[in-house]
Amino acid sequence: MTGFVWIASYPRSGNTWLRLALGALLDPGQAHAGDAHARFAPNASQRSDIEEALDVETGDLTPAEMEALRPVAYRTLAALSRRPLFRKVHDACIDAVAGTPLFPPDATLATLYMVRDPRDVAVSWAHFAGIGLEEAVRFLCDAGATLRPAAGRPPLDLPQRLLCWSGHVRSWLDAPGRRCCLLRYEDMVADPAAILGRAAAHAGIAATAETLDRAVAATRFDALRAHEARQGFDGGQSPGSAFFRSGRAGGWRTALPPDLEARIVAAHGPAMEALGYLAEAGERPCWLTAAAVGK
- Determine how β-strand 160-161 pairs with β-strand 108-115: unpaired
Residue type for 120, please?
A: D
Residue 69 belongs to what H/E stretch? Answer: helix 63-80
Q: Is 154 in the site for other proteins (CB under 8 A)?
A: yes
Total residues contacting other proteins (rule CB under 8 A)?
Answer: 32
Burial class (CB in 10 A: 0-12, 13-18, 19+), 50: buried
Shortest Å distance, C-beta 211 to other proteins: 29
Strands across the sheet containing 4-9: 85-89, 4-9, 108-115, 181-184
Binding flag, residue 53, other proteins (CB under 8 A):
yes
Residue 65 interacts with other proteins (CB under 8 A): yes or no:
yes
The three-class DSSP label of residue 56 is coil
**Alpha carbon of 203 to those of 70, 158, 180, 186: distances in Å?**
22, 25, 10, 20
Residues near 231 by Cβ (< 8 Å), separated by ≥ 6? 34
**Contact between 153 and other proteins (CB under 8 A)?**
yes
Query: Does 95 help bind other proteins (rule: CB under 8 A)?
Result: no
Q: Does 142 bind other proteins (CB under 8 A)?
A: no
Among the residue ranges 64-72, 110-118, 201-209, 287-295, the one whose residues contact other proteins (CB under 8 A): 64-72
Q: Which of 48, 146, 241, 289 binds other proteins (CB under 8 A)?
A: 48
CB 290 within 8 A of CB 145: no
Is 188 in contact with 112 (CB distance < 8 Å)?
Answer: no
Which of 2, 30, 32, 56 is the binder for other proteins (CB under 8 A)? 56
Q: Is residue 115 within 8 Å of 275, Cβ to Cβ?
A: yes
Stretch that binds other proteins, among 17-25, 148-156, 196-204, 261-269 (CB under 8 A): 148-156
User: What minimum distance in Å lies between the beta carbon of 64 and other proteins?
Assistant: 8
Residue placing its CB nearer to other proteins in the complex, 29 or 63? 63
- The answer to whether residue 155 forms part of the interface with other proteins (CB under 8 A) is yes
Beta-bridge mates of residue 157: 46
Of the ranges 138-146, 154-162, 180-188, 218-226, which one interacts with other proteins (CB under 8 A)?
A: 154-162
Least gap, CB of 153 to other proteins (angstroms): 6
CA distance 279 to 281: 6
Per CB under 8 A, the list member of 1, 27, 39, 79 interacting with other proteins is: 79
32 binds other proteins (CB under 8 A): no
CB of 214 to other proteins, least distance (A): 26
* Rounded CA separation 51/41 (Å): 17
156 binds other proteins (CB under 8 A): yes
User: Could you list the residues that contact other proteins (CB under 8 A)?
Assistant: 47-48, 51-65, 68, 72, 75-76, 79-80, 152-156, 231-232, 234, 239
